[in-house]
Amino acid sequence: MIQQLLQYEKFKEMDMSIFVDKIELCGGMNIRKSIKKIFSKKRIAIEEETSLLLQYWIRTSPLDKEWINDLDNIIAKYIKAKVYTQLKVFEGHTVIHKKIVSSSNDDTVRIWDVESGAVIYILKGHSYWVYDAQFSPNDDMVVSCSFDKTVRLWDVQSGKEIRKFEGHTEGITRAQFSPDGNMIASSSMDATIRLWNTNSGKAIKKLKGHSDGVNDVQFSPRDRTLVSASFDKTIKIWNVKSGEMLCTLIGHLDVVDRAQFSPDGLSIVSCSLDNTIRIWNVATEKEIRVLRGHLSNVSNIAISSDGQSIVSCSFDRTIRMWDARLGQQVLQFEGHSESIVGLDFSLRGNRIISSSKDKTIRLWG
């Protein structure tokens, strides 16, 4: 244990009481008192680093004690609960750096200022419900897609439309930049996925294989593969260069709403109208675990940049945070008055943003 404590000399800003708390907690004694001491610290930075310190020791400790997993859950619940509270409500529709982008069934895309909650631009051009909008990797552009069957590219500084991508024959459900920003992938109710050159607007490939509308598409961290989710209850992985379908993941019992790669590209997380979230191993093409807790359709998911946490939202009007390794719920957020349809983590993982059919966007941090 002493050697493990010495590994954390980098936490110099924490006073000795934190280390005393850690020793007591690792020994399994006086847990309530120790957690109370930790929470007496007012700075969020210390709370987050203490959490990492405690969880690191628990996960790497050679001791084989039955209480370790339960203690890990207690730490996650108590410490993360102090970090995340509702910060702001954005209202206007009928992460995240300094700006937020949103899409709506009022046919517009809006760019918001995080600090003031004010609308910076209202992007108009789509003629029907805008289903999705995202910033480019360098934040200078926004891509949006709509049930008007178009994908559109916008300049963030001016709010002007740069170009329009056309080719899908039904409503478009998702548009996503590749990690290098040079390509855009779109999914559609026409059961296809299309790849586009960001700069020229030209179509690169058309991927076919799903037997029903495609709800979601996402690039892997290295641009080599795509993952898609469909109304046909399946998830598929594709080779970006060849357009070949590599495999099909089967397990969900209803429409799959979202599927996303983990930051390391080794896992996929999906959610479905079957009220579950599932984690898949990419290499083995097998389901690792099923996360249950939501009482209605799970409409969206997001994974923290370190891959440690998953957040999900649902028609049950809750947001839930899960430990990705344990597959257990550690936190629940409530505040929206209608079904929640979108959410995301900030890059640092210290904020969550959600959107709902109650016509509000909420920032948690």
Lowest mean pLDDT among 16-30, 66-80, 97-111, 340-354: 16-30
Which band of pLDDT confidence, cut at 50, 70 and 90, is reported for residue 35?
A: very low
Which amino acid does the sequence have at 123?
L
Q: Which two tokens stand for residue 329?
A: 């719920």
- Three-class secondary structure of residue 219 per DSSP: strand
User: HSE (CB half, 13 Å, CA atoms) of 208?
Assistant: 3
Which amino acid does the sequence have at 305?
S
* Nearest residue to 340 (alpha-carbon basis) of 360, 329, 353, 355: 355
Q: pLDDT value at position 55?
A: 52
For residue 356, how far is the Cα from the chain centroid?
15
**Residue 191 Cα distances to 133, 134, 194, 199, angstroms:** 20, 22, 10, 25
For residue 175, how far is the Cα from the chain centroid?
15
**Residue 68 Cα distances to 52, 72, 230, angstroms:** 15, 6, 39
- Does residue 116 have a pLDDT over 70? yes
Q: DSSP assignment, residue 79? A: H
Q: pLDDT value at position 187?
A: 98
Q: Which two tokens stand for residue 60?
A: 């790497």
Q: DSSP assignment, residue 240? A: T
Which band of pLDDT confidence, cut at 50, 70 and 90, is reported for residue 351?
A: confident
| pTM recorded for the entire structure | 0.74
Which band of pLDDT confidence, cut at 50, 70 and 90, is reported for residue 13?
A: very low
Average pLDDT of span 48-58: 47
- Does residue 76 have a pLDDT over 80? no
Q: pLDDT value at position 363?
A: 84
Name which residue leads in pLDDT, 21 or 146. Answer: 146
Specify the DSSP element, H or E, that contains 70.
helix 68-83
Which band of pLDDT confidence, cut at 50, 70 and 90, is reported for residue 350?
A: confident
Q: pLDDT value at position 183?
A: 97
Residues whose CB is less than 8 angstroms from the CB of residue 17 and which lie 6 or more positions away in sequence, other chains included: 37
- Does residue 315 have a pLDDT over 70? yes
**Residue 21 Cα distances to 9, 27, 124, 283, angstroms:** 16, 10, 55, 40
* Nearest residue to 324 (alpha-carbon basis) of 261, 273, 251: 261
Q: How far apart are CA 320 and CA 316, in angstroms?
A: 11
* Nearest residue to 331 (alpha-carbon basis) of 33, 70, 82: 82
Q: DSSP assignment, residue 326? A: T
Specify the DSSP element, H or E, that contains 110.
strand 108-113
Determine contact, residues 236/248, Cβ cutoff 8 Å: yes
Determine contact, residues 29/39, Cβ cutoff 8 Å: no
Name which residue leads in pLDDT, 272 or 22. Answer: 272
- Does residue 12 have a pLDDT over 60? no
Hey, which residues does 343 pair with through a beta bridge?
Answer: 354
Q: pLDDT value at position 65?
A: 39
